C-alpha cells in the first residue's frame, strides 16, 4: 500500500526522489504520532527509522522508511489529524507554511487510498489549511538585471564559464523552473534555437520563445561541448559537468547564488528568484497576465496573480517619490 503510493508519485506523478522522500517522511510522522498518542485502536509504536525502507522501481531501497508497524490508515480519525496539527504548531513550533506542506502530503496519501477504496472516510472533510502570511516574490531590479545580462552575454572560450552564464540567462529569459532547466535536452530547441519546448509539472508541455542573443549563446555552448569532447557518451543533456555528467541541482544552485551575489543582489539568490524576476519584469512592461501564466506553465491564473502585487508595490513607490502631495499629511 505505502510502497504502491511511493511508486505512484515517482512513476505517474513524476515527482523527484527528494519530493517523494519528503511526502513519505510526512506521512510516517503522522502515523507515528497516531500510534504514540496511545489511541486504543492504533496502539503504540516506536519509530522504525529507515530500516526496511520501501522499495520502488525508480528509487531502489531505502528511499523512505516504511509505515510503522501497527498503524492502520483506515482507523485514523479527523481528531487524530487535528491533534497532530496542534502538536506541530504548538510543541514543534513549525510555521503555518511548513504545517500546510505536511497536511498536503498526508492528504495526498489518503486521496490515493480512497481512490483505491482502501479507506472510505474523508479524513480531511473538516480540515482547512492554516492561514499563512502573504509573501511577495523576490526579484532582481530591472536595471541591475540588465547590467548582469550584458555582462553574461559576452562569449567565453571557457566551457564552464559559458555554461554557468547560460544557466542564468535561460532562467531569466524563459522563466523556467530549475528542474525544467536541468532536464533540457538539445533536441528540445528548434533548429534556430529560438523556440524551446518545455515539459513541466505533470508532463504538461509548453512552448517558450528564446530571444536572439540567448539563442546565439546556446549555439556557442554546444560548440564548446563538441570542441572539448564533453559529451563523448552521447548524452543529449544541455547542461553537463566537464566530465560529461548531467549538472546537479546543488551545482546549479551554487552557480546562481554565486553570480547573483557577485552582481550585488541582496536577499534571496536562488534560481527561483530569476523565475520571479522574469514574470515581474514582463508584467511591469504591460504583458497580459494570461500570457505570463502560459509562459510560466501555471495551471491556474491565481498562481500568476501574485506578481501583480510586486507591480502594485512598484507603482506605490513611484507615486511616493514623484507626486508632490504624497509626503504631505
* 3-state per-residue secondary structure call for 121-154: CCCCCCCCCCCCCCCCCCCCCHHHHHHHHHHHCC
Q: Does 87 qualify as catalytic in the annotation?
A: no
Rounded to 5 degrees, φ, ψ at 157 are -90, -5
45 with 69: CB under 8 angstroms?
A: yes
Q: Does 177 qualify as catalytic in the annotation?
A: yes
Give dist(CA 43, CA 77) in Å, integer. Answer: 14
DSSP 8-state secondary structure symbol assigned to residue 157: S
Which residue in the list 114, 144, 268, 272 is annotated as catalytic? 272
Which residue in the list 177, 221, 276, 281 is annotated as catalytic? 177
- CB proximity list for 188: less than 8 A, separation 6 or greater: 196, 197, 198, 238
Which residue in the list 201, 257, 290, 323 is annotated as catalytic? 201
Which residue in the list 28, 163, 221, 275 is annotated as catalytic? 275
Which residue in the list 102, 163, 281, 298 is annotated as catalytic? 298
Q: Does 115 qualify as catalytic in the annotation?
A: no
Q: Does 275 qualify as catalytic in the annotation?
A: yes
- The count of C-alpha atoms lying within 13 angstroms of the C-alpha of 87, restricted to the half-sphere facing its C-beta, is 15
Of 208, 178, 203, 183, residue with least CA distance to 282: 208
Q: Does 307 qualify as catalytic in the annotation?
A: yes
Which residue in the list 8, 23, 172, 307 is annotated as catalytic? 307
Catalytic machinery residues: 177, 201, 272, 275, 298, 307
Amino acid at each position: 500500500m505505502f510502497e504502491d503510493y511511493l511508486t505512484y508519485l515517482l512513476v505517474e506523478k513524476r515527482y523527484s526522489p527528494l519530493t517523494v522522500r519528503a511526502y513519505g517522511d510526512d506521512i510516517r510522522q503522522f502515523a507515528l504520532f497516531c500510534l504514540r498518542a496511545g489511541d486504543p485502536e492504533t496502539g503504540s509504536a516506536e519509530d522504525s527509522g529507515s530500516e526496511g525502507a520501501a522499495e520502488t522501481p525508480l528509487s531502489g531501497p531505502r528511499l523512505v522508511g516504511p509505515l510503522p508497524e501497527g498503524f492502520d490508515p483506515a482507523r485514523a480519525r479527523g481528531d487524530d489529524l487535528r491533534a497532530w496539527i496542534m502538536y506541530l504548531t504548538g510543541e514543534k513550533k513549525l510555521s503555518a507554511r511548513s504545517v500546510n506542506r505536511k497536511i498536503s502530503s498526508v492528504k495526498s496519501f489518503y486521496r490515493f487510498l480512497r481512490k483505491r477504496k482502501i479507506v472510505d472516510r474523508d479524513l480531511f472533510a473538516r480540515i482547512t489549511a492554516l492561514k499563512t502570511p502573504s509573501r511577495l516574490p523576490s526579484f532582481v531590479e530591472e536595471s541591475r538585471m540588465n547590467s548582469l545580462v550584458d555582462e553574461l552575454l559576452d562569449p567565453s572560450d571557457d566551457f564552464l564559464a559559458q555554461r554557468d552564464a547560460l544557466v542564468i540567462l535561460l532562467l531569466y529569459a524563459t522563466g523556467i523552473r530549475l528542474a525544467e532547466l536541468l532536464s533540457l535536452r538539445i533536441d528540445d530547441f528548434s533548429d534556430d534555437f529560438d523556440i524551446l519546448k518545455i515539459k513541466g509539472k505533470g508532463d504538461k508541455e509548453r512552448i517558450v520563445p528564446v530571444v536572439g542573443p540567448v539563442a546565439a549563446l546556446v549555439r556557442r555552448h554546444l560548440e564548446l561541448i563538441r570542441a572539448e569532447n564533453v559529451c563523448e557518451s552521447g548524452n543529449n543533456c544541455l547542461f553537463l559537468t566537464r566530465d560529461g555528467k548531467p549538472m546537479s541541482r546543488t551545482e546549479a544552485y551554487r552557480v546562481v547564488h554565486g553570480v547573483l551575489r557577485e552582481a550585488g543582489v541582496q536577499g534571496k539568490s536562488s534560481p527561483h528568484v530569476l523565475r520571479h524576476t522574469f514574470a515581474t519584469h514582463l508584467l511591469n512592461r504591460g504583458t497580459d497576465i494570461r500570457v505570463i501564466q502560459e509562459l510560466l506553465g501555471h495551471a491556474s491564473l491565481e498562481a500568476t496573480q501574485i506578481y501583480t502585487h510586486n507591480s502594485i508595490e512598484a507603482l506605490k513607490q513611484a507615486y511616493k517619490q514623484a507626486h508632490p502631495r504624497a509626503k504631505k499629511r
